[in-house]
Amino acid sequence: MTRYILRRLLQAIPLLLIISAILFLLMEEMGDPLATFGGRRVLRSEDRARLTRQLGLDKPLWMQYVIWLAGNDWMRMDLDGDSIAESRGTRKGALRGDFGTSFVTRRPVSEMIIERLPNTLLLMGTAEVVILMFALLIGITSALKRYSLYDHTITAFSFIGYSMPIPLLALGLMYLFAVNFKRWGLPYFPTVGVFDPAVGRTAPQIIWHMVLPVAALSTISVAAYSRYIRASMLEVINQEYIRTARAKGLQERMILLRHALKNAALPLVTLVGLDLPLLLGGAIVTEGIFAWPGMGRLFIDHTTRSDFPVLMGILMMISVAVVVFQLITDITYTFLDPRIRYE
Amino acid sequence: MNTAKKTWCWVSVVAVLALALASCARATPPAPPTPTPVPLTPIPAKPRVVTITFTQEPDNLNPLYTNMWFVLTLRDLYLANGLLAYNDKNEPIPWIAKEIPSVENGGISADGKTITFKLRDNVQWSDGTPLTADDYVFTWQMIMDDKNTVVSRDPFDVAVEKVEAQDAHTLAVTFKEPYAPWQAKIFSNVDSTNALPKHILEPVFQKDSTLDNAEWNRKPTVGVGPFLFKGWESGSHLIFEANPNFWLGKPKVDQIFIRIVPDDAAQVAAIKAGDTDIGVFISYADVPDLQKLGTLDLPLVPSGYKESWFFNLSTREDKTKGHPALQDPKVRQAIVMAVDRNKICQDLLYGLTKPAVTFWDGMPYANPDIQPIPYDPEGAKKLLDEAGWKIGTDGIREKDGIKLKLRYATTPREVRKNTQVIVQQMWKEVGIDSELITHSPDIFWNSYGDNGPIATGQYDVAQWSTNPSFPDPDTAQWLCKEIPSDENPPGGNWQFFCDEELDGLFVKETATVDTQARIQLFYQIAKIISDQVYWVSIWDDPDLWSVSKKLKNVHFSGATPFWNAYEWEKTE
């Protein structure tokens, strides 16, 4: 097993290098980071020429990639535009853990990502917990009561939930529970943000502000997950070993949780293993609407400004997470199903 | 056990199990130990907080490193040390300078090249250090230093010879040539050139040999303004607290809380719910709804912006070439006459605005004698016939085998796309065909060197919103030397047009320090632009704000919106 994990990790290195090269190539198509430097005006041509040089955007793409990867502290740069490279660079490059600085904020990319990560994990982690709770509950009960009124109702709502566009859902929740409930004099939720500035950043405030975004994030996924659980549960509970377990006189609870669910959980683990690394990327739409300061917002803000050091940082972090979570998923299989072995 | 009870029993078990499973799943990513990832920000018991929503997050709070409107607006809170400020009528008023320099008070030298500012001697940085002329000199040095990747050196690189501190409170700026736009562009509260705190940033520059990474850029805790920077949580909010030692007296509200709400619809919801006091860049479509609430003022603040049409007048035999019909001023006039711009304003913009007549409307530089081009489809047809563009068999005009089909490009904003569709129909009525093109803003604004679709002339008519160097009337976008080419890829004259007479007037205007004489020059400029139909406004594009009626004394200026934040009051 240890050898297997080591091998997988070693394989990841060339994979990540290839991913980074492809991503960097795609960044070139993003547009010009200087395009938005003029604010509401077009940037003056003198400034555009100077910044192109100072920020190293005049270099060929492969050179920019080498600098991104290996830094430029081993070469000299031309800052004053006299075509003589006189100043030593200061960047260390991604291989040495320096993901560069944002063109827009001039701050280190890793710092910008790290300060958003807790917010995203808080929101997305909570949403994932809620999703799994409700999906298991709904999926298992509707599998057990297949074709009952309960199952049909749940099925109907699942399809409505699954086909709901998230911006509509998020804004709908906001208008109903924040704007209209307040108008009608009912207890209401806040519209946007993380806390009320008049109260301050307290835990109850944050939880209160999380309710609507978590509800918006969960609805669609609960609908999807519960369908998977229902299907795999149905497959399992009609199998012979379940009948055998019943014949042995085991308690129904034991049968369901120890015997049925463990086998039915395999597809769920695959699903969750694919979803978890993407959680790090945050939720672009939901974070935007509820003004939640997460990674999705960071990504979209810097996409609109073609700030590719930040985008590279976020995408590489997600790439690493995908590789790691795939490995974790594969290892989890061996615990759930002893027939699976890696050598 | 009856069935119901049994079901209930194991449902609860499943719930517990789900929780357990879920917490396993959650434990896999490094979940934060407490729900509060950042330490508590201490806030006084019942502060009078003004909450403002911004739809974009500031990038950098050092004005040298940003041109972002939101930062330049915030700067009136925490930095606010421009020599001149602009009031709600967009008139310059003395700010850190005791008076506006003029020839009469000796502030402007006889040759017009040196301007001397007398600074107030009672203004201090928030750490107690006096604000002196040295701070301004230091700022100029930092703008010009090659090691700083400042966003713009305008106008210090092209116009300024030197900046000198004659004594602690006398600042002299010497220009290479007399420089007309100095009021707005030299250390004013308008452009990106306030004074930086030399005593804080000079040691940083000496140590790092650049200001690019200075902590002050993100945490400008030392400032001069009515409010002081207290905190910025990325993506969430910025906090500014009243400066008790502000030189015009302590502000009347305790805190300004800027919340970043990127989604326009969510901002409107927050305004409706009363969760924010001030919102900006409200869509006109939301005005009827917001007015009904009765709790808001919705001021339209002119900021010089005009939604405009630009014609591609390139005759170069390369990719930039525009439609040959556009070379004829009669055709350009007909293109405009065919469109009922007032109806567009009425239908798409709720009648809240109307077409501007000159590029300088709403400023003293606007020529009052210029008549708007009327909506006259019959007249348009006549002009096109005269110009030799006759209706072809397919109903589209043509001349010498070339169809009158225009590439009409803009950005994918809803109102712009709707305008495109309406205009396409109106053009069709007079026999002009069109192809509608949209490019997302990051592509649209790309330079010639980066193959930007507009900068490389991949259009015939383009629509976007722009302004002069508001509140200064100057603009560089019609200068001949700004035409982009392989030799001049960053050029900003994306119409590829050069009118010698106009060019001469622009050059003359920038060197005319006397305001009245300068106004006359702009009258002539606007006349040429109007006669030749080089530029046309579709609508005047003021900034739409929403302000809670709980706030008093909020008087936005288009140039420096928060200039009087120290006078704002909030009632409950």
User: At residue B22, does pLDDT exceed 60?
Assistant: no
What is the least distance, in Å, from the CA of B153 to any CA of chain A? Answer: 7
Find the mean pLDDT for residues B565-569: 95
Q: Which chain B residue shows the shortest CA-CA distance from A139?
A: B14
Cα-flanking dihedrals φ and ψ of residue B54, to 5°? -115, 135
Structure tokens at B27: 């434990």
Q: Report the candidate in B76, B48, B57 with the shortest Cα–Cα distance to residue B220.
A: B76
Which of left, alpha, beta for A61 (phi over 0: left; psi -120 to 50: alpha)? alpha
A106·B275 Cβ contact <8 A? no
Spatial strand order in the sheet of B114-118:
B114-118, B170-175, B160-167
Q: How far is A290 from chain B (nearest CA, A)?
A: 7
Q: B97-134, pLDDT tens digit by residue?
A: 999 998 888 899 988 899 999 999 999 999 999 999 99
- Flag the least confident range among A328-332, B87-91, B167-171, B555-559: B87-91
DSSP B205-247: HHHHS-STT-GGGT---S--SSEEEEEEETTTEEEEEE-TT-T
Interchain proximity B488–A87, CB inside 8 Å? no
CB atoms within 10 A of CB B223: 25
Q: Which residues of chain A does B275 touch, with a Cβ-Cβ cutoff of 8 Å?
A: 178, 190-193
Whether pLDDT at B6 is above 50: no
B422 φ/ψ angles, rounded to the nearest 5 degrees? -65, -45
Contact A40 B305 (CB under 8 A): yes
Alpha-carbon distance B362 to A325, whole Å? Answer: 59
Pick from A31, A47, A303: CB nearest B153 = A47
B52 CB neighbours in chain A (<8 A) are none
The pLDDT of residue B44 is above 80: no
* pLDDT mean over A183-199: 88
Q: State the average pLDDT over residues B230-242.
A: 94
Q: What is the pLDDT of residues B363-395, one digit of tens each?
A: 888 999 999 999 999 999 999 999 999 999 999
Residues of B in contact with A34 (CB under 8 A): 447
- Count of residues making up chain A: 343
Contact A330, A322 (CB under 8 A): no
Q: Mind listing the pLDDT tens digit for each residue in B514-527?
A: 778 899 999 999 99
Shortest distance between the Cα of B121 and any Cα of chain A, in A, equals 33
What pLDDT is stored for residue A311 in this prediction? 94
Mean pLDDT for A245-261 is 85
Q: Which of residues 292-311 of B touch A (CB under 8 A)?
A: 305
Which helix (H) or strand (E) segment holds residue B334: the answer is helix B329-337
Mean pLDDT of A102-117: 92
Q: Considering only alpha carbons, which residue of chain B is nearest residue A265?
A: B21
pLDDT tens for A151-174 read: 999 889 888 888 888 899 999 999
Predicted local distance difference test score (pLDDT) of residue A272: 86
Count other Cβ atoms within 10 Å, centred on residue B392: 15
Q: Is B513 in contact with B328 (CB distance < 8 Å)?
A: no
- Confidence band, pLDDT 50/70/90 cuts, at residue B15: very low
Alpha carbon A284 to its chain centroid, in Å, reads 9
Minimum CA–CA partner of B303 in chain A: A40
Concatenating the DSSP letter of every residue in B350-413 gives TTS----SSTTTTSTT--TTPPPPP--HHHHHHHHHHTT-EE-TTS-EEETTEE-EEEEEE---
Cα gap A7→B499, rounded to integer Å:
69
Span B248-265, average pLDDT: 94
State percent of chain A over pLDDT 90.
38
Which of A133, A192, A197 lies nearest to residue B18, judging by beta carbons? A133
Residues of B in contact with A30 (CB under 8 A): 442
Residue B211: predicted pLDDT? 94
Q: For residue B567, what are the contacts with CB-CB under 8 A and spacing of at least 6?
A: B251, B252, B553, B555
Residues B50, B52, B56: CA angle, nearest 5 degrees: 155
pLDDT above 50 for B43: no
Looking at the complex, report in whole angstroms how far the Cα of residue A23 sits from the nearest Cα belonging to chain B.
18
Give residue A42's pLDDT: 72
Residues in Cβ contact with A259 at an 8 Å cutoff, skipping those fewer than 6 apart: A241, A242, A245, A250
Question: What is the reported pTM?
Answer: 0.81
Selection from A221, A194, A201 nearest residue A276 by Cα: A221
On whether the CB atoms of residues B182 and B173 are closer than 8 A, the answer is: yes
Among the partner-chain residues A192, A291, A306, the one whose CB lies closest to the CB of B442 is A306
Beta bridge partners of B455: none
Q: Contacts of residue B29 in chain A, CB cutoff 8 Å?
A: 121, 125, 276, 279-280, 321
At residue B5, the pLDDT reads 44
- Asked if residue B29 has pLDDT above 80, the reply is no
Of A220, A214, A257, A218, nearest in space to A237 by CA? A257
Nearest CA in chain B to A253: B10
Give the strand pairing for B405-410 and B433-438.
Answer: parallel
Q: Is the dihedral of CA A83, A88, A90, A92 positive or negative?
A: positive
Look at residue A34 in the predicted model and tell me its pLDDT: 86
Query: Does residue B471 have a cis bond before it (omega within 30 degrees)?
Result: yes
- Are B235 and A276 in contact (CB < 8 Å)? no
ipTM value for the complex:
0.84
Task: Report chain B residues whose CB lies below 8 A from the CB of A179.
Answer: 269, 272-273
Q: A–B: how many Cβ contacts below 8 A?
A: 275
Q: pLDDT tens digits for B404-421?
A: 999 999 999 888 999 999
Report the pLDDT value the prediction gives residue B4, as an integer from 0 to 100: 45
Q: Identify the residue among A37, A41, A82, A171 best suited for mutation to test binding to B, counting B beta carbons within 10 A and taking the highest.
A: A41
Q: How far apart are CA B347 and CA B351, in angstroms?
A: 7
- pLDDT at position B441 over 50: yes
- Measure in Å the smallest separation between the Cα of B134 and chain A Cα atoms: 25
Is B487 a residue whose pLDDT tops 50?
yes
Over residues B343-353, the pLDDT tens digits come to 999 999 999 99
CA distance B92 to B76: 15
* Predicted local confidence at residue B9, as pLDDT: 42
pLDDT at B41: 52
- Residue of B7 and B461 predicted with greater confidence: B461
Q: Give the three-class secondary structure for B536.
A: strand
pLDDT class for A125, splitting at 50, 70, 90?
Answer: very high
Strands B114-118 and B160-167: unpaired
Q: How close, in Å, is residue B59 to chain A by CA atoms?
A: 5
Q: Find the mean pLDDT for residues A214-234.
A: 90
Q: What pLDDT does residue B38 have?
A: 47
Substitution target in A48, A134, A314 with the highest count of B β-carbons within 10 Å is: A48
- Is it the case that residue B253 has pLDDT exceeding 70? yes
Please name the residues between 60 and 79 in chain B that touch chain A, using a CB distance below 8 Å: 60, 65-69, 72
Instruction: Please tell me the predicted confidence (pLDDT) of residue B112.
Output: 87
Preferred mutation among B12, B13, B21, B560 to probe A, highest tally of A CBs within 10 A: B21
Residue-wise pLDDT for B191-207, tens only, equals 767 899 999 999 999 99
d(CA B191, CA B75): 10
pLDDT average, residue stretch B6-27 = 41
Q: How confident is the model at residue A282 (pLDDT cuts 50, 70, 90)?
A: confident
- Does B341 touch chain A if contact means CB atoms closer than 8 Å? no
Residue B45 pLDDT class (50, 70, 90 cuts): low
More confident: B18 or A339: A339
